[in-house]
Amino acid sequence: MTALAFLLNLPWTLIGFILALISLPRNIQVNAKPFAFVVSVRSFWWQTWLPSHRGVRASSIGNVALLSEKILPKDLKHELVHVRQYEQRPFIQAFLYILETIRHGYKNNKYEIEAYEKAVNKYILLQRKHTKPGSD
């Protein structure tokens, strides 16, 4: 990663740290390639109001990858693909991602397709557990 790409992505990385803080961080590690701060968090409570984000396991913005307690084995690899996307398209990646999602939806977003293919993982919507009354 070039220093210029890191500097151009710095606003997104700072937002990623803010999101990490409000997601109740548990642990932080540094990944070397691609350079990323990997933050284990308790909850993505701030995303649950969005219908398509109710089973979020992980998220990335800038050089910050956020991993919830619900992560599956290849989720970190998937998020690091997104960090590489930010490196390849410094500063504008967030806008390109949003535009792609608006046009094609999450599942058909070309950046998500690339991440799922490179990480060799699949889109799995985690459902909330529903219990019957009195079955506690």
pTM score of the predicted model = 0.87
Residues in the chain, pLDDT under 50: 127-136
**Side chain identity at 67, as an amino acid letter?**
L
- Per residue in 77-100, pLDDT (tens digit) is 999 999 999 999 999 999 999 999
The separation between CA 109 and the C-alpha centre of its own chain, rounded to angstroms, equals 14
Cα distance between the two ends of the chain: 51
pLDDT score of 46: 84
In the chain, where are the structural domains located? 3-119
C-alpha separations of 28 from 5, 20, 72, 95 in Å: 22, 10, 18, 26
pLDDT score of 4: 95
Tokens in use for 3? 């220093």
Overall residue count recorded for the chain in this entry: 136
CA proximity to 97, closest of 121, 123, 115: 115
